[in-house]
Amino acid sequence: MTTDSFELEQFLPYRLNRAAEFVGLRFAAHYRAKYGLTRPEWRTLAALGSSGRMTSKAVGAHSSMHKTKVSRAVFALEQRRWLKRSQDDADRRLEHLELTPAGQQAYRELIELARRYQAELEAELGGNGIEALSTGLAAIEQAISRSGKGKPPEPNELQALVGF
Amino acid sequence: MTTDSFELEQFLPYRLNRAAEFVGLRFAAHYRAKYGLTRPEWRTLAALGSSGRMTSKAVGAHSSMHKTKVSRAVFALEQRRWLKRSQDDADRRLEHLELTPAGQQAYRELIELARRYQAELEAELGGNGIEALSTGLAAIEQAISRSGKGKPPEPNELQALVGF
DNA sequence: AATTGATGGTTACATTTGCAACCATATCGT
DNA sequence: ACGATATGGTTGCAAATGTAACCATCAATT
Measure CB to CB from residue A16 to each of B24, B126, B138 and give the nearest one: B24
The answer to whether residue B58 is domain-embedded is: yes
| Averaged pLDDT, A136-161 | 76
Q: Dihedral sign, CA of B147, B152, B156, B162?
A: positive
Which nucleotide lies closest to A159 by the C1' atom and the CA atom?
C18
Write out pLDDT tens, residues A59-99. Answer: 999 999 999 999 999 999 999 999 999 999 999 999 999 99
CA of B93 to C1' of C2 (A): 21
The answer to whether residue B116 is domain-embedded is: yes
The answer to whether residue A2 is domain-embedded is: no
The answer to whether residue A89 is domain-embedded is: yes
| pLDDT bucket at A5, cuts 50 / 70 / 90 | confident
The answer to whether residue B126 is domain-embedded is: yes
Of B116, B95, B91, nearest in space to B31 by CA: B116
The answer to whether residue B162 is domain-embedded is: no
Mutate to test the interface with B, among A1, A6, A115, A159 (most CBs of B within 10 A): A6
Write out pLDDT tens, residues B107-152. Answer: 999 999 999 999 999 999 999 999 999 999 999 999 999 887 655 5
Which domain does A42 fall in, by range?
A: 11-148+157-161
Contact A115 B24 (CB under 8 A): no
- Provide the domain count of chain A: 1
- Judge whether residue B161 has pLDDT over 80: no
Instruction: Return the pLDDT at A152.
Output: 53
Of A100, A124, A149, nearest in space to B141 by CA: A124
Write out pLDDT tens, residues B44-60. Answer: 999 999 999 999 999 99
- As a whole number, the mean pLDDT across chain B is 91
* Angle CA A54–A59–A63, to nearest 5: 145
The answer to whether residue A35 is domain-embedded is: yes
Cα–Cα dist B15/B88, whole Å = 44
Cα–Cα dist A108/A126, whole Å = 27
The answer to whether residue B157 is domain-embedded is: no
* Helix or strand (DSSP H, E) at B10: none
Query: What's B108's domain CATH number?
Result: 1.10.10.10
Three-state SS for B97? Answer: strand
Cα–Cα dist A150/A159, whole Å = 12
The length of chain B, given as a count of residues = 164
Cβ density class A90-107: b for 16+ within 10 Å, e for less: eeeeeeebebeeebbebb
